[in-house]
Amino acid sequence: MRYITRRAGLFLITLWAALTVNFIIPRVMPGNEASAVLATFRGVNPSALHALEIEFGVNVHQNLIVTYFQYLANCLTGQFGLTAQRVPVLTEIISKLPWTLALVGVTTVIAFAIGTMVGVVSAWRRGGRLDGILPPLLFIVASFPVFFVGLLLLFVFAVTLNWLPLSSNYSIGAEPSLSLSFAGDVLTHALLPGFSLVVVTAGLWIYSMRNNMITTLAEDYVKMGRAKGLPSWRIMIDYAARNAILPNLTGFAMQLGYVLGGSILVEYTFSYPGLGYLFYTSTTDHDLPLMQALFLVYTLAVLICVLLADLATAGLDPRTRDA
């Protein structure tokens, strides 16, 4: 129980830190970006404008602390103001969220599955000819910038072979519906961006999982498993893999931030209109309200995943149950 309380505490503190960062940045950064942006907001919904003024410290003639708490209250009720297109920020985010969620969600699950299996097995079967080449190769592929992989795939499959579409999440002119053909269209559009993400993410996970597994294999209880005459697969899974994965689940979750960053770049490369692409356009439009709200969304996503990992660890690792 104490373990969960501690982790929930970290969740709240980091969330608070991110919210505070959002509050502080417009106020400490040199120049007057914020006021310049807000000056363009004329004749808009007054409460939305007010929320923006509070967030960015423009036209605010009251105590900083009071402003800060008003800002926090706004955030908790989802009042993030308006985008450069005068659409409520929250609405815009919610409309694009499913696309990114689908892309990142599916690729992360696939990458984790591949990463775990390949990592575990490659550590188990050490000493083969591949053993000298595979790990550094994986490390290198894992460190490839994700946009390079994306561009390469685009070049090969979209431009040269023309097998897959060049951009976007569904074909221009297609009507979004729950039909099979639309689903197929979406899938072909998501294939290359998804694949780019999987390649880089899986590479990273295979590498870390393999390292964890190798460390675990040196433990005495693995040797005991062998001494007891247990079948090989059972030792690999029950005695080694389980002990390699579970304590590191939170660590894996923390790498999600890197994956999300990669997803932003992938969406930009493929002009895939999810939150990442939105992030990009917010920079070109100099749309600070949207940008900062997106920053919060991404941070919250990582925090939620880390907390879920913590809960899983608490549930599955007997040692934390008593901690």
Q: Which of residues 195-234 bind another protein (CB under 8 A)?
A: 219-221, 223-232, 234
Torsion of CA 116, 121, 124, 128, to 10 degrees: -130
Where are the alpha helices (H) located in 125-248, listed in sequence order?
130-143, 146-153, 180-217, 220-227, 232-234, 242-245
Q: Does residue number 128 form part of the binding site for another protein (CB under 8 A)?
A: no
The residue (of 76 and 227) whose beta carbon lies closer to another protein is: 227
State in angstroms the smallest separation of the CB of 59 from another protein.
19
Can you tell me the distance from the alpha carbon of 253 to that of 14, in angstroms, rounded to the nearest whole number? 15
State in angstroms the smallest separation of the CB of 180 from another protein.
30
| 57-65, 71-79, 180-188, 240-248 -> range binding another protein (CB under 8 A) | 240-248
The residue (of 121 and 230) whose beta carbon lies closer to another protein is: 230
Where are the alpha helices (H) located in 235-287, listed in sequence order?
242-245, 249-254, 256-269, 275-284
Can you tell me the distance from the alpha carbon of 46 to that of 52, in angstroms, rounded to the nearest whole number? 10
Considering only 75, 303, 310, 313, the residue that binds another protein (CB under 8 A) is 303
Considering only 51, 197, 202, 265, the residue that binds another protein (CB under 8 A) is 265
Site for another protein in 31-50 (CB under 8 A): 31, 33
Q: Does residue number 238 form part of the binding site for another protein (CB under 8 A)?
A: yes
Considering only 67, 248, 292, 313, the residue that binds another protein (CB under 8 A) is 292
Site for another protein in 5-34 (CB under 8 A): 10, 13-14, 17-18, 21-22, 25-26, 29-31, 33
Number of alpha carbons in the 13 Å side-chain half-sphere of residue 255? 18
Tokens in use for 227? 């001494």
Q: Please give the span between the terminal C-alpha atoms of the chain, in angstroms, as a whole number.
A: 7
Q: H or E element: which one contains 322?
A: helix 318-322
The residue (of 48 and 235) whose beta carbon lies closer to another protein is: 235
The residue (of 3 and 268) whose beta carbon lies closer to another protein is: 268
The residue (of 66 and 131) whose beta carbon lies closer to another protein is: 131
Considering only 193, 299, 310, 313, the residue that binds another protein (CB under 8 A) is 299
| 45-53, 95-103, 108-116, 282-290 -> range binding another protein (CB under 8 A) | 282-290
> Residue 11: is it exposed, middle or buried by C-beta count within 10 angstroms (0-12/13-18/19+)?
middle
- Annotate 203-218 with three-state secondary structure: HHHHHHHHHHHHHHHC
Q: Does residue number 143 form part of the binding site for another protein (CB under 8 A)?
A: yes
DSSP state of 317: -
| 74-82, 115-123, 179-187, 280-288 -> range binding another protein (CB under 8 A) | 280-288
